[in-house]
Structures are given as structure tokens and as C-alpha cells.
Amino acid sequence: MIRTPLQDLAGGLKRWQLGLALSWNDTVMPLRSSYLGLVWASLQIGLLVLVLYLLFRDLRGQDVVDYAIYLAAGVTVYQFISIGLVDGSTTFSKQAGLIKNVPHPISLYVFRLFYKQIILAFFAAPIILIAIAYTNQWPGVLEVLVACAGVVLVSVAFTGLALAVGTACVVVHDLVLALAAMTRLLFFMTPVFWVAETRGGFRGMISTYNPFTYFLNVVREPLRGNMPDMLDYLVVFTCLAVFWAVGVVLFSLIRPRISALV
């Protein structure tokens, strides 16, 4: 029997196979009835990258030779941010039936978002590979390994954020709509498709003080053949610690009432 929030979190981690199955169901099952099937998972990302590339590649100051890689990796990492904020905000409310009727650890429904991000990374990999081949700017083996480690780091961080926002949204339902609106706004305020290093003034300030910029850097820069700066890792690890600390505190306070509130 699960008695404490920490036991709940430990139980959620132990049931990783069930969490992976739930994530696979969330990501893949809706595509099974289509003609293209799993190809749609990659195609959705690829179409967004293609349209943004055609629109912004000739933007004044956008003189980066590997802009296709920059854009493909940026869009992929921002999908993780979106999962942490948007999917995280409804992670408990959407699973209300299971939470009320099945005696699994409640945290399992948060950890499923971690696996969803990893699955998304696999589907995004062909798009990034196409971008690398198109620009003919191939990263080394070490850089690829660093980028993969960055994917795991970002996924862990935004799983902690999902725990925090998901728990908070159980109590304050208006946060779901606020986070959805903020996620759309942050897409334009984060250097996903505009190049931070070629922009001064207001754009440079936004890039510097937006913590999500550094999450992009720990994955995107190695794929461009550059190692992330120590500042990138400092900001990412600090955010990771804050996300999880806030998430665990909120979860500890609200967990006994989650099944009644969802």
C-alpha cells in the first residue's frame, strides 16, 4: 500500500514498463488507423520544420549555414517544453478514471510523459538526420553522444515541471488555459526559428534571460558541431533542481486530494 508521496514517486518509477506502454498508447495508437501509420509522427515534425525553413531561411541576418539543423533540433526540443507545460497541466485530469479506479501510483501518469518525450525524440531523429544531410554539416560521434545526453537531461527536467504544473492545475483549473496560451507565446520568444547570435537589442535580451534557450542549446549545439557552454549546463541543472523541488513539494501537499479533485 502506498502511504507517502515519496513511496508514490518510487512506485511510479518501478512501473516503468506500464508507463512506457501508456506513453506508446498516447503517441502511437491514434496513428494506427491512418494510411501512413507511424510515419505521421515524423511527418508532423518534418512539415513544421519545412514550412518554417522556407519562411525564415532568407530572413535578414539569418546567415547560419546549418540553419536546417538549427531549426529541426529547436523544434524537437520545444516539443519537450510543450509536453512539460501543456500535457503536464492535464496529466492527472485526463487520467481521472484510472486514478479513481485503479490502484497504481499517481506519479505513474507523470512519468509517462518522460517516456513520451523519448519516443518523440526517436520520431524526430529522421528529420534531424535529413537536415544534417541537407546541410552536409556532420557532427562527430562525441557531439552526437552529448546531444543524446542532452535529450535525456531535458526530458528529466520537463518531467519535473510536468509534476509541478500537473499538481497545481488539479487545484487551479484556470492554469490549464493560461499554460496553453503561454506555451504558444513562448514559441515566438524562444530562439527556435530565429537565430539568437545574430540578433541584438530586444531579441538578444529575450534569448539571454529566457531559460528555455539553454535547454535548446544542450541538444542543438552538439548537433551543429559545437559543445554547449558551462552556462548552458548551469542553467539547465538549476532549472531541473527547481522544477523537481517545486513538483515534489506540491505533490506532497496535494496528493491525498488528487483523486477527489480530478
Alpha-carbon distance values, 38 to 30, 75, 124, 130 (Å)? 9, 19, 12, 18
pLDDT digits (tens, 9 = 90+) for 130-167: 999 998 889 889 999 999 999 999 999 999 999 999 99
Confidence at 223, pLDDT banded by 50, 70, 90: very high
CA dist., res. 84 & res. 158, Å (int):
5
pLDDT digits (tens, 9 = 90+) for 56-90: 877 644 556 788 899 999 999 998 888 888 888 88
Alpha-carbon distance values, 164 to 24, 74, 97, 171, 233 (Å)? 23, 24, 21, 12, 21
pLDDT of 116: 86
CA dist., res. 143 & res. 131, Å (int):
16
pLDDT digits (tens, 9 = 90+) for 105-132: 888 888 888 888 888 888 888 999 999 9
Confidence at 3, pLDDT banded by 50, 70, 90: low
Within its chain, how far is the Cα of 248 from the centroid? Answer: 19
Q: Tell me if 38 sits within 8 A of 124, measured CB to CB.
A: no
Confidence at 261, pLDDT banded by 50, 70, 90: confident
CA dist., res. 93 & res. 258, Å (int):
9
CA dist., res. 86 & res. 178, Å (int):
10
Q: Which amino acid is at 168?
A: A
Instruction: Please give the model's pTM, rounded to 2 decimal places.
Output: 0.87
pLDDT of 248: 92
**Whether the predicted pLDDT of 241 surpasses 90:** yes
pLDDT of 59: 65
Confidence at 246, pLDDT banded by 50, 70, 90: very high
What's the whole-number average pLDDT of the chain?
85
Overall domain count for the chain: 1
pLDDT digits (tens, 9 = 90+) for 9-32: 888 888 888 888 888 887 777 667
DSSP H helical ranges for the chain: 5-14, 16-28, 39-56, 67-82, 88-89, 96-101, 108-135, 141-171, 174-189, 201-209, 211-223, 230-261
Expressed as residue numbers, the domain containing 155 is 5-28+35-261
Q: Tell me if 23 sits within 8 A of 119, measured CB to CB.
A: yes
CA dist., res. 159 & res. 47, Å (int):
26
pLDDT of 66: 83
CA dist., res. 193 & res. 203, Å (int):
12
